[in-house]
Structure 1
């Protein structure tokens, strides 16, 4: 298991515990900047997003699919254990989308030993154990439960995905720090490798992307002002009168409409469109 970092008052000890893991075995694990040269800056440094590791993938296409999912959700470091050949003109690069420009060509081949010795590892598997009597695959977390906990892990972390047909072996899982499993139908819980990675990375996107860094607008929707909503209700009341809706039922009908529109959170555009339709219905010529 990767050593966790603890803040110490000793400058030398802090340097050993915080700087050296970034250069363990000669591999850079994080950016060295002016901020990381300052002890106070290091203490407040946001943690490095999880690395993605794929063990013994059989299909280059799945490696490309995983690289693309990483690009979609803000992950950038890909480690490969015993990978297939990744031909720049082959399916890995064809499936990778824009990740063919950076994530895939910058992927690093490592050993499984290096992975478990240098990272806090999360092994992804479809098959778990049911209780702690057999703890190789138990306890486990679902992908949606991981972000809150991983945000507090003070060590480099790696999401580890296994082979397409058999996943990670029991021997490999026994060396991994924690288990993750995607809830799925009991009669067929096994997902395609690329699908499993995509779902997991989506659930962990809060570790890599802020709301402002996604393609979505800052505001999902804005409720129309109350005076505009009240005009909708007034127009409904006029329409009920025009339709000769039973007087004794109008109060109940209006209450129901208020409940419906209250749950709908109408936008200004939606409210104005409804006003136009209701007005046309109210002002329609009487049938001859």
Structure 2
């Protein structure tokens, strides 16, 4: 299942526009982090079209932590102009590449959109599993929030419109609980090997991006956790 989250939207109309695009392309779960007031007689419902009947009234207010704990999260942002040396927003996928990568993975995924003017912060992006960016003209790469969401959701249509069109899933991704446990185990491992403290956050972000692209199965995640745990025990026993 693919859900949509909007973080700290400034304009109710953009929330309505995104809800309408969700209705267009077969998505129905809208999650809102620090949303504006959505007055049933206001612009959100006015812009939502038929989504005013179900998607907007059923939208849930949640925290960013709730998203990372319960979904495979994809931060949707403008062109990043970053490379492997500046990796908070790198590597990133285009919407089409993202749809292709999700086609063979059974995972509850949430597409996360940020604020109208500044999008998602680096701190927020660092908490998410993947980054999606829309290629645009170099001299003006910034898109309106509603436009950006519509483009991304359009590319998801092969996964969301009709169940008869869905590809057969071939890969059972580990649960978010297991994935987050793996990240926690990696953090403990870095501490055990006395990895420089000032480099641990960077190493953790790199590891999160790697795991986000790999979509490990439960067995793979459990095995990796076991390896890190065993290595940590051995290191601890040598230090005694």
Same fold, judged at TM 0.5 (above): yes
Q: Deviations over 1:63-90 (max 9, x none)?
A: 0000000000000000000000000000
Runs of 4 or more above 2 Å deviation: 151-155, 210-213
Cα distance in 2 for partners of 1:138, 1:186 equals 17
Post-superposition offset of 1:149? 1.1
Post-superposition offset of 1:204? 0.7
Q: Which one of 147, 162, 184 corresponds to residue 114 of structure 2?
A: 162
Q: Which one of 8, 29, 33 corresponds to residue 81 of structure 1?
A: 33
Post-superposition offset of 1:151? 2.2
Cα distance in 2 for partners of 1:62, 1:132 equals 33
Cα distance in 1 for partners of 2:63, 2:101 equals 26
Q: Does 1:206 align with 2:206?
A: no
Post-superposition offset of 1:211? 9.8
Q: Does 1:182 align with 2:182?
A: no
Q: Secondary structure at the match of 2:51?
A: helix
User: Given the two structures, how large is their TM-score scaled by the length of structure 1?
Assistant: 0.56
Q: Which has the larger radius of gyration?
A: 1
Cα distance in 2 for partners of 1:55, 1:169 equals 10
Post-superposition offset of 1:148? 1.9
Cα distance in 2 for partners of 1:210, 1:100 equals 21
Which residue number corresponds to residue 177 of structure 2? none
Q: Secondary structure at the match of 1:174?
A: helix
Larger RCO (CA within 8 A; separation ≥ 6): 2
1:199-278 to structure 2, matched below 5 A, reads: 199-210=151-162
- Segments of 5+ residues of structure 2 without an aligned counterpart are 166-240
Q: Secondary structure at the match of 2:88?
A: helix
Number of equivalenced pairs:
165
User: Given the two structures, how large is their TM-score scaled by the length of structure 2?
Assistant: 0.66
Which residue number corresponds to residue 15 of structure 2? 63
Which residue number corresponds to residue 100 of structure 2? 148
Cα distance in 2 for partners of 1:212, 1:71 equals 18
Q: Is the 8 A contact 1:129 1:136 kept in 2?
A: no
Quote the RMSD (CA, aligned, Å): 1.5
Cα distance in 2 for partners of 1:136, 1:182 equals 17
Q: Deviations over 1:46-101 (max 9, x none)?
A: xx2x1000000000000000000000000000000000000000000000000000
Q: Does 1:127 align with 2:86?
A: no
